[in-house]
């Protein structure tokens, strides 16, 4: 059986009640469940901390009823905090996975999870994760737009997204944390040491957040003489005015509907539904 959160109403009719108490605390209420196993479709972004609490509550309800639950969420928040860069930091990615497992998730189905960097089934912390990839959907969409393309990634971490298409990767170097309230490590450089002149180029990443990585990558391929430039990712946050900046810089910008936006041209529905029932 599929349980569908209101934040997934674009792919199926929601059947979960979700509200806020007057003080802002989350309230969730699941429908009656007859099967011994469910797929819980619930996005964990935007408002990731609140969405995680809602997930914990729903998973706990299922656990107490003895129901096996698979959480289906294409984007896993905190997945970029899987390494300790500076002494004193937590392993946030592992904590989130442990909490999901502890709350009752038998497994998580997600898409292009940042720290896994390949498709398949993995154990991370105490959680079993089925990591799907949107790479083929995104590349097929790009080919429909402009025909043959070179598929490249803006850093080595996203190389797994482009390797099967014969793609190469740029090298990104991040510096120390910047001063100020935002925990952000500045991008010092993104280097490209291969030729793309005269070709249509798709720059593919797992996510676009501030757009800083993509902007530097687009500048590189334009300098390198690319014909048409497309930029795409599985997860598009498009913080601040980054979407407009990217649109101004390249020919096409698109992402999946992992996080719905004005440029979510590629649907994950069939991919997610083919792994659930
Ligand atoms: C990091 O390694 C990720 O794969 C993305 O490249 C990164 O998160 C994109 O962030 P931003 O858009 O802020 O440069």
Within-domain flag for 272: no
The answer to whether residue 35 scores a pLDDT higher than 80 is: no
- What spacing in Å lies between the alpha carbon of 239 and ligand 1's midpoint? 11
CB 143 within 8 A of CB 256: no
Average pLDDT over residues 78-104: 97
* Residues in Cβ contact with 12 at an 8 Å cutoff, skipping those fewer than 6 apart: 2, 4, 41
- What spacing in Å lies between the alpha carbon of 64 and ligand 1's midpoint? 38
Domain boundary residue, one of 112, 132, 152: 132
- 239 and 128 within one domain: no
- C-alpha to C-alpha distances, 196 to 150, 182, 225, 275, nearest whole angstrom: 8, 35, 7, 36
- Among the listed residues 136, 168, 179, 216, the single catalytic one is 179
Q: Ligand 1 within 6 A of 157 CB? A: yes
- What spacing in Å lies between the alpha carbon of 190 and ligand 1's midpoint? 12
- 211 and 162 within one domain: yes
- 191 and 95 within one domain: no
Question: What pLDDT is recorded for position 277?
Answer: 76
Within-domain flag for 206: yes
* Residues in Cβ contact with 95 at an 8 Å cutoff, skipping those fewer than 6 apart: 78, 125
Overall domain count for the chain: 2
Half-sphere exposure of 254 (CA within 13 A, CB side): 21
Band (259; pLDDT cuts 50, 70, 90) = very high
Q: Ligand 1 within 6 A of 159 CB? A: no
The answer to whether residue 136 scores a pLDDT higher than 90 is: yes
List the one residue out of 153, 150, 151, 149 whose CA is nearest residue 172.
Answer: 153
Q: Ligand 1 within 6 A of 104 CB? A: no
The answer to whether residue 34 scores a pLDDT higher than 90 is: no
Domain boundary residue, one of 132, 148, 173: 132
Q: Count other C-beta atoms under 10 Å from residue 16's C-beta.
A: 19
Pocket test for ligand 1, best of 112, 213, 235 (most atoms within 8 A of CB): 213
Q: Ligand 1 within 6 A of 208 CB? A: yes
- 151 and 94 within one domain: no
117 is catalytic: no
Looking at the CA of residue 237, tell me the nearest atom of ligand 1: 12
What angle, 0 to 180 degrees and rounded to 10, lies between the N-to-C axes of helices 212-223 and 242-249?
10
Looking at the CA of residue 210, tell me the nearest atom of ligand 1: 13
- 146 and 251 within one domain: yes
* Residues in Cβ contact with 28 at an 8 Å cutoff, skipping those fewer than 6 apart: 16, 17, 18, 54, 57, 58, 61
The answer to whether residue 217 scores a pLDDT higher than 80 is: yes
Rounded Cα–Cα distance for residues 108 and 116 (Å): 13
Read off φ and ψ for residue 185, nearest 5 degrees. -95, 115
Within-domain flag for 271: no
- 161 and 110 within one domain: no
Q: In what order do the strands lie in the sheet with 150-152?
A: 150-152, 201-208, 229-236, 252-256, 264-266
Average of per-residue pLDDT values in the chain? 97
Average pLDDT over residues 75-89: 97
- 167 and 147 within one domain: yes
The answer to whether residue 126 scores a pLDDT higher than 90 is: no
Cis before residue 274, ω within 30 degrees of 0?
A: no
Q: Ligand 1 within 6 A of 74 CB? A: no
Residue 79, Ramachandran bin (φ over 0: left; ψ between -120 and 50: alpha; else beta): alpha
Read off φ and ψ for residue 204, nearest 5 degrees. -120, 130
Q: Ligand 1 within 6 A of 211 CB? A: yes
- 147 and 115 within one domain: no
- 161 and 79 within one domain: no
DSSP 218-256: HHHHHHTT-SSEEEEEEEE---TTHHHHHHHHSSEEEEE
Within-domain flag for 109: yes
Within-domain flag for 277: no
Nearest C-alpha to atom 2 of ligand 1 is from which residue?
A: 157
Within-domain flag for 211: yes
Lowest mean pLDDT among 32-36, 96-100, 170-174, 248-252: 32-36
Q: Ligand 1 within 6 A of 212 CB? A: yes
Within-domain flag for 120: yes
List the one residue out of 10, 24, 71, 22 whose CA is nearest residue 44.
Answer: 71
Read off φ and ψ for residue 89, nearest 5 degrees. -85, 155
- 145 and 87 within one domain: no
Within-domain flag for 163: yes
Q: Ligand 1 within 6 A of 210 CB? A: yes
- 153 and 107 within one domain: no
SS3 270: helix
Share of the chain above pLDDT 90, in %: 98
Band (214; pLDDT cuts 50, 70, 90) = very high
Residues of the domain holding 222: 135-266
Question: What pLDDT is recorded for position 36?
Answer: 86
Per residue in 9-18, pLDDT (tens digit) is 999 999 999 9
Rounded Cα–Cα distance for residues 190 and 237 (Å): 20
Pocket test for ligand 1, best of 174, 209, 215, 219 (most atoms within 8 A of CB): 209
CB 35 within 8 A of CB 241: no
């Amino acid at each position: 059986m599929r349980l569908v959160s209101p934040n997934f109403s674009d792919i199926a009719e929601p059947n979960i009640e979700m509200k806020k108490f007057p003080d802002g605390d989350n309230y969730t209420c699941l429908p009656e469940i007859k099967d011994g196993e469910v797929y819980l479709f619930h996005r964990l972004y935007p408002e990731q901390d609140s969405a995680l609490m809602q997930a914990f509550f729903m998973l706990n309800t299922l656990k107490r009823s003895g129901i096996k639950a698979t959480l289906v969420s294409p984007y896993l928040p905190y997945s970029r905090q899987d390494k300790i860069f500076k002494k004193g930091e937590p392993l946030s990615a592992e904590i989130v996975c442990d909490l999901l497992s502890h709350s009752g998730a038998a497994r998580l189905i997600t898409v292009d999870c940042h720290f896994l960097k390949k498709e398949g089934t993995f154990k991370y912390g105490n959680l079993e994760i089925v990591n799907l990839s949107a790479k083929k959907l995104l590349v097929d969409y790009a080919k429909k737009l402009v025909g043959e393309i070179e598929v490249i990634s803006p850093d080595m971490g996203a190389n797994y997204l482009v390797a099967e298409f014969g793609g190469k990767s740029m090298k990104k170097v991040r510096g120390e944390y910047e001063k100020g309230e935002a925990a952000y490590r500045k991008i010092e450089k993104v280097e490209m040491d291969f030729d793309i002149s005269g070709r249509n180029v798709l720059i593919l990443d797992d996510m676009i957040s501030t757009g800083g990585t993509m902007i530097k990558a687009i500048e590189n391929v334009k300098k390198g003489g690319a014909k048409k430039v497309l930029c795409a990712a599985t997860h598009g946050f498009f913080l601040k005015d980054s979407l407009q900046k990217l649109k101004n810089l390249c020919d096409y910008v698109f992402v999946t509907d992992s996080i719905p936006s004005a440029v979510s041209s590629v649907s994950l529905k069939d991919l997610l539904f083919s792994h659930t029932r």
